[in-house]
Amino acid sequence: MSPVMVYVPLAQDEALRLRAAGVLEGPWLGHAATPGLLRAHDLTGEEEDAEYTALAYAGVTSLLSGAASLRLVLATETADASVLDPDDAFGRVSVPRLRWAAVSSLFADEADSAERLARARRLVDRLDFEQAVDSEQIEELLDASDLLWFAPEELERLPRSTV
């Protein structure tokens, strides 16, 4: 398999451990511009929208994890990702291990998003992924809380999450 960009939600302490160790064994759930995601959203894969869609789904997965008040998603290029279901509209993939050297960017919430995300977390309580994605209230809260781009070197500068 050729390398693919995968968006993997992590807690900040996991990201710090990954940077310190260089490698963290998984498996890790991520989202990518898979054939199923491309078909479901009528995208070609050549569009930036395909990557943005995978990132947005990783943001929902991060919200559902409840690991921290702020979300963190790593963008990593890997040839090891395996598609969980070729028809999955959400581009879910499994990554056996994460390598810090392959992390190209970080996406994180601003500190002022914590209140909106707390409301979204209360709404997702007892919902599965598909129900969370379909919720208009959750979508509105997440749309107001964009995941911002950071370089991997900025990990320490990210707003600190509270558990």
Q: Report the chain's mean pLDDT, rounded to a whole number.
A: 90
Residue 24 neighbours by CB distance under 10 Å: 18
Residue 41 neighbours by CB distance under 10 Å: 16
Report the C-alpha gap between 142 and 59 in whole angstroms. Answer: 8
Helix (H, G, I), strand (E, B) or coil at 17: helix
More confident residue, 156 or 66: 156
Helix (H, G, I), strand (E, B) or coil at 11: coil
pTM for the model = 0.92
Confidence of residue 86 (pLDDT cuts 50, 70, 90): confident
- Residue-level pLDDT at 163: 35
Helix, strand and coil in the chain, % to nearest 5: 45, 25, 30
Confidence of residue 95 (pLDDT cuts 50, 70, 90): very high
